[in-house]
Amino acid sequence: MADQPTPDTSPATGSVPEARIVIENCAVATVDAQDTEYARGHVVVAGARIESVGAGPAPAGLRGGVTRRIDGSGHLVTPGLVNTHHHFYQWITRGLATDHNLFDWLVALYPTWARIDESMVRAAARGSLAMMARGGVTTAMDHHYVYPRGSGDLSGAVIGAAAELGVRFTLARGSMDLGTSDGGLPPDFAVETRDGALAATEATVDAHHDPAPDAMTQVAVAPCSPFSVSTGLLRDAAELARRKGVRLHTHGSETVEEEAFCHERFGMGPTDYLASTGWLGEDVWMAHCVHMNDADIAAFARTGTGVAHCPSSNARLAAGIARVPDMLAAGVPVGLGVDGTASNEAGELHTELRNALLVNRLGPHRESALTARQALRLGTHGGARVLGRAADTGSLEPGKLADLVLWRLDTLAHSTIEDPVAALVLGAPAPVTLSLVGGEPVVEDGRLLRADERAVAAEARDAARLLARRAAEA
């Protein structure tokens, strides 16, 4: 990639012109409504937003000049990847309980997770975010729901880590109030009270949520799951989110065990139960949604409820194959999620592009289940839609935020795959030559610009060892 700074030749006006980055001579996959692509095209970024996208070289005589010009030969530029479901704290408990189903896995790990503190969560968040950013994620989210008493400002630690690395971010402030003594799955010492969880969630929204279109930090209200949250907390959380004008997130229909739990405890399946508590709507997205019948899918489509599809985690925990082709055909908004890095040790989203396509082809639709371009859409525009940010992110269009990735496809791993989108989705993870968030570089030539990768790794390793010692001594 040739990269030449170009002096600003605009006349002196007494004001500082916007920084302008021009990327040329690359393949372009816009992921706009028409899936427009250019075999050899350009993207022009002015300040925080995209100014121009099209075929051939950038327009001549750009107003204000060019501060940086990049020759993208051998590359593909796409919207940045959007992660719609994650649990950052699990970065420091990877590789544990590797042969368990979801319920057994949770029972095995809850006692360890209940001993996290602020410094550990910060280290885990930095590790999770660094891995994703290095792999092309420009918008991330974290569903954090474990808040042990006396553990410090865990939400602030996660939000601070995202700001440090320069990634656009949604904190889904989770909660659990249904411990084992009340028939739930988590141990009693790992849950909050209903009133305490609601008050802390509202305080987090008030302190950190930015409703602006270019916001770097947003907050969602996110009780954990039907088997760890009381009906009262679910209902009150939905009311709180709508009063505050923020989105709602939870786990739904992940396993057959969850299905059985809901039928035994509530006399209905997870979708009907969540609907009865106000948890369907355009402001809601749910993780997994593996065990959905036709009526469930129709309810999601009718209400605009979104889905975070997590194929690697679903396979790791033997949860099953989500009916993504049927969801898309019905009009359900679907994005991709890494899920917790203790159920997806890779911790990066490119794997989910590939696995979404491959896993869904094992289902009843076989080779017609998903295409490479549909997989890319799930990981970009689909994710932006699920997070409520599609008006400003998720596709390469003039006026949208400049959240984009330049992928190198001329290496040994990709050079013989003629179709650049197929190379990105089906090939090995492509090196990231440049990743921009709001026009600001966060990764260049595979290197994080806002953090030292080795220091992040060492900090996370130390936190993992400390947490393991705490759990062993308990």
Helix intervals (H) in 61-180: 102-113, 118-134, 154-165
Q: What is the pLDDT of residues 434-444, one digit of tens each?
A: 999 999 999 99
Q: Is residue 93 assigned to a domain?
A: yes
Q: What is the pLDDT of residue 24?
A: 97
201/98 same-domain check:
yes
- With CA atoms as reference, report the closest residue to 164 among 118, 133, 200: 133
Q: How many domains does the chain have?
A: 2
Q: Is residue 473 assigned to a domain?
A: no
Confirm if 395 and 385 have CB atoms less than 8 A apart: no
- With CA atoms as reference, report the closest residue to 204 among 223, 219, 222: 219
With cut-offs at 50, 70 and 90, classify the pLDDT of residue 189: confident
Domain end marker among 386, 404, 437: 386
Q: What is the pLDDT of residues 160-175, one digit of tens each?
A: 999 999 999 999 999 9
Q: Is residue 474 assigned to a domain?
A: no
246/195 same-domain check:
yes
206/256 same-domain check:
yes
55/119 same-domain check:
no
Q: What is the pLDDT of residue 184?
A: 82
Q: Is residue 465 assigned to a domain?
A: no
40/151 same-domain check:
no
Q: What is the pLDDT of residues 345-373, one digit of tens each?
A: 999 999 999 999 999 999 999 999 999 99
Tokens at residue 425, please? Answer: 């989705």
118/68 same-domain check:
no
Q: What is the pLDDT of residue 183?
A: 85
With cut-offs at 50, 70 and 90, classify the pLDDT of residue 2: low
CATH of residue 357: 3.20.20.140
Tokens at residue 398, please? Answer: 């003039």
Question: In the predicted model, is pLDDT for residue 181 greater than 80?
Answer: yes
Helix (H, G, I), strand (E, B) or coil at 296: helix
Q: What is the pLDDT of residue 12?
A: 40
Domain end marker among 337, 360, 386: 386
92/111 same-domain check:
yes
Question: In the predicted model, is pLDDT for residue 8 greater than 50?
Answer: no
Q: What is the pLDDT of residues 115-135, one digit of tens each?
A: 999 999 999 999 999 999 999
- Structural domain boundaries, residue 165: 81-386
Chain position carrying tokens 């509202």: 202
Q: Is residue 210 assigned to a domain?
A: yes
Which whole number is the average pLDDT over 365-384?
A: 98
Q: What is the pLDDT of residue 65?
A: 77
Q: Is residue 471 assigned to a domain?
A: no
With cut-offs at 50, 70 and 90, classify the pLDDT of residue 7: very low
58/184 same-domain check:
no
Q: What is the pLDDT of residue 5?
A: 42
What percent of the chain is modeled with pLDDT above 90?
89
Helix (H, G, I), strand (E, B) or coil at 139: strand
Domain end marker among 386, 413, 440: 386
Question: In the predicted model, is pLDDT for residue 465 greater than 50?
Answer: yes
284/378 same-domain check:
yes
Average pLDDT, the chain: 94
314/217 same-domain check:
yes
With cut-offs at 50, 70 and 90, classify the pLDDT of residue 14: very low
Question: In the predicted model, is pLDDT for residue 18 greater than 90?
Answer: no
Can you give the length of the chain in residues? 474
404/285 same-domain check:
no
Q: Is residue 57 assigned to a domain?
A: yes
Q: Is 164 buried (19+), middle (13-18) or exposed (0-12) by CB count in 10 A?
A: middle
100/63 same-domain check:
no
Q: Is residue 469 assigned to a domain?
A: no
CATH of residue 49: 2.30.40.10
Q: What is the pLDDT of residues 285-318, one digit of tens each?
A: 999 999 999 999 999 999 999 999 999 999 999 9
Q: What is the pLDDT of residue 3?
A: 63
Question: In the predicted model, is pLDDT for residue 396 greater than 70?
Answer: yes
